[in-house]
């Protein structure tokens, strides 16, 4: 039996407690400063108020002030902070992660630099860890929703990191007959692939709203248009993966994650509202209080493409869907899918 400490009680980290506990490990779940109500509820009856699932009796729960106790004797740490808590995690958690204990992050996202470079969050963690500290940073990427993992639906992800032996160790801790994982040392490829899917999921779900607007019926579906935009998304994502230096085979994690995201969640909501004809401001007002990583990722990725275009490395015309999404959310453009820009002539 190993001791696994989960830092942040968000939905995905909390869902991973299921395979961890079922594999016989001691599971410690630590809430962030924003998770107090979640931890209080779990201590009362094991019910997770945002995941909407009952966790296993026997899991140990901690508030953030008890982090030192929760880290004592840990064999692995799973970081479950959302991308909006990136700075907090870098400033408050990385300095206290014990050296030699592998960290596995569920956080998906990228940061763009002025020159167009896109850096995945594990790279940011490496850059911002305390000077002189040797931390073993790894990450999870792939098509997996928290609630379906908690419900034991078969899920397949990738664990990525610098050291294959560490990845094998982490897989040994968490693999079950329903939680499957590949292993990869291509951190940039895996993490950038799954991060960019948020921007493109917004693009695909524009077609959902357009269908509802055309038919005058909420829930109306036209799958041809969704599939066409999905295909264009994978084309652009593949090109972006090449630009960041990721291995092409890792597009499967981004494409799979794109599929999952199109069918539910916050990104589907914003894309659908925009497709129905709401302005970006109107759509955001309707979703007041909802955090939308898709907006952040779409903006950062578009800014990266623009910077690369200025350097003559790419042309913005190579990313017509991404550029249209950027125009909608950042420049007030109406939804008008650039279909002709998707067409190609190949010989």
**What is the rounded distance in angstroms from the CA atom of residue 181 to the CA atom of residue 64?**
30
Dihedral class, residue 53 (left if φ above 0, else alpha if ψ from -120 to 50, else beta): beta
**pTM (2 decimals)?**
0.93
Q: Which two tokens stand for residue 287?
A: 């979703």
**Residue pLDDT tens, the chain, 347 long:** 999 999 999 999 999 999 999 999 999 999 999 999 999 999 999 999 999 999 999 999 999 999 999 999 999 999 999 888 999 999 999 999 999 999 999 999 999 999 999 999 999 999 999 998 999 999 999 999 999 999 999 999 999 999 999 999 999 999 999 999 999 999 999 999 999 999 999 999 999 999 999 999 898 888 999 999 999 999 999 999 999 999 999 999 999 999 999 998 889 999 999 999 999 999 999 988 676 889 999 999 999 999 999 999 999 999 999 999 999 999 999 999 999 999 988 88
Q: Where are the domains of the chain?
A: 3-185, 195-342
CATH code of the domain occupying 195-342: 1.10.1040.10
Specify which residues 118 forms β-bridges with.
112
Confidence (pLDDT) at 295:
93
Dihedral class, residue 291 (left if φ above 0, else alpha if ψ from -120 to 50, else beta): beta
Confidence (pLDDT) at 344:
86
At the topology level, CATH places domain 3-185 in Rossmann fold (3.40.50)
Confidence (pLDDT) at 264:
80
Confidence (pLDDT) at 265:
81
**What is the rounded distance in angstroms from the CA atom of residue 51 to the CA atom of residue 174?**
19
- Answer whether 186's CB lies under 8 Å from 160's CB: yes
Other C-beta atoms within 10 Å of 3: how many?
18
**Pairing status of strand 118-120 against strand 110-112:** antiparallel
Confidence (pLDDT) at 345:
82
What are the angstrom distances between the C-alpha of 28 and each of 25, 62, 148, 172, 320? 10, 7, 21, 18, 46
**Which SS3 state, helix, strand or coil, does residue 299 take?**
helix
């Amino acid at each position: 039996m190993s001791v696994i400490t989960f830092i942040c009680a968000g939905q995905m980290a909390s869902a991973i407690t299921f395979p961890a506990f079922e594999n016989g490990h001691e599971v410690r779940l630590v809430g962030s400063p924003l998770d107090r109500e979640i931890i209080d509820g779990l201590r009362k009856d094991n019910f997770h108020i945002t995941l909407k699932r009952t966790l296993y009796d026997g899991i140990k729960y901690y508030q953030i002030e008890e982090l030192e106790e929760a880290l004592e004797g840990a064999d692995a740490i799973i970081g479950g902070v959302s991308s909006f808590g990136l700075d907090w995690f870098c400033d408050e958690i990385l300095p206290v992660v014990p050296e030699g204990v592998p960290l596995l992050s569920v956080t998906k996202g990228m940061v763009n630099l002025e020159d167009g470079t896109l850096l995945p969050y594990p790279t940011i963690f490496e850059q911002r860890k305390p000077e002189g500290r040797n931390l073993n940073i790894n990450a999870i990427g792939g098509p997996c929703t928290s609630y379906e993992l908690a419900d034991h639906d078969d899920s397949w992800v990738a664990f990525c990191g610098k050291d294959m032996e560490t990845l094998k160790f982490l897989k040994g801790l968490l693999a079950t007959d329903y939680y499957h994982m590949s292993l990869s040392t291509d951190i940039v490829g895996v993490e950038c692939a799954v991060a960019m899917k948020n921007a493109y999921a917004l693009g695909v779900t524009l077609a959902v709203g357009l269908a509802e607007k055309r038919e005058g019926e909420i829930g109306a579906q036209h799958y041809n248009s969704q599939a066409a935009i999905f295909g264009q998304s994978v084309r652009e994502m593949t090109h972006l993966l090449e630009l960041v230096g990721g291995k092409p085979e890792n597009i499967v994690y981004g494409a799979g994650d794109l599929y999952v995201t199109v069918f539910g969640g916050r990104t589907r909501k914003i894309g659908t509202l925009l497709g129905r004809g709401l302005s970006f401001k109107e759509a955001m007002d309707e979703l007041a209080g909802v955090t939308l990583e898709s907006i952040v990722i779409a903006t950062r990725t578009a800014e990266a493409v623009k910077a690369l275009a200025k350097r003559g490395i790419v042309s913005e015309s190579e990313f017509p869907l991404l550029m249209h999404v950027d125009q909608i959310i950042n420049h007030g453009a109406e939804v008008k899918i650039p279909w002709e820009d998707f067409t190609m002539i190949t010989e």
